[in-house]
Structure 1
């Protein structure tokens, strides 16, 4: 059916077909940064110098996209530009705001904030409610 999907809808025993265009969603992670390499919570850091060539090497493997969105971070901008894609910034794709932990390594934070890192690691609701961290770990500026 060339890019279309037939969907059968059953309502009160009757069936009808609806043609809908298929949508492909491809998610591409940004290239490696100093934070991802060292295991630190990210800031708005750039891609590592060697990543530009690595990202270019996958450009030909991506299918053509009708619309491309990216987060607002420098690393996502550099990745998209290196892939020669035109993308709109979508704030809902922004990385988590790590507050005072941004740019710091896990061991460093663990040494300074043992109780807070323990809460972060053990609270199953925290992952889905990250933006409410100040409520969870009693900090004044997260």
Structure 2
């Protein structure tokens, strides 16, 4: 079978298209206080923002499959929205090695050359953890291995995970990762089949 053409023994079939909605976890700190590989729980602002966003996001809980990153704030966001998500280790944040728990300002002040190398080369890992390219491919691998289902799929994930999924799905250069801004509780939907994904923008007026 050719997944790109859908041909089997001279016949044409329609491949089942998956619909995956990714919801960025609510905040656990102010933007400037965000730490690499952060595992802190939701703060008061994050809980308040979930209550405000709940009417728009809770319908996603009707998805046939519901997942989340293993971080406390991702799990708490999914639970607060009524998703009862299944934790997916593959959706963990990028492994930042010895930089884990540091802010970008902290690292830049202590290791400016290492930060420059990390930003310039997606294959580098001066922190001793996971290179950006490997992180993007890991998230893409999770996306490509979702089970085919008639219903939708929803996953609550760290903003970095959502950014990586977008870069992979759009087949964009890894450097595009740095140009994607994913705010808390923002949502993107990807549709397609393994290796062929499209970004779906929902209509604002129905």
**TM-score of the aligned structures, taking structure 2 as reference length:** 0.51
Q: Deviations over 1:58-111 (max 9, x none)?
A: 223233111111111101111111111111111000111212212212122112
Aligned twin of 1:121: 119
Q: How much is the aligned-residue C-alpha RMSD, in angstroms?
A: 2.6
Question: Which of 4, 21, 27 matches 2:22?
Answer: 27
The 5 Å alignment of 1:124-139 reads 124-126=122-124, 127-129=132-134
Cα offset, 1:39, TM superposition:
4.0
**Could you say which structure has the larger radius of gyration?**
1
Contact 1:33–1:46 (Cα < 8 Å) also in 2: yes
Aligned twin of 2:44: 49
Aligned length: 122
Question: Which of 30, 38, 42 matches 2:33?
Answer: 38
* CA distance in structure 1 between the partners assigned to 2:29 and 2:35 by the alignment: 8
SS in 2 for 1:69: strand
**2:98 corresponds to 1:103:** no
RCO comparison, higher one (Cα < 8 Å, 6+) = 2
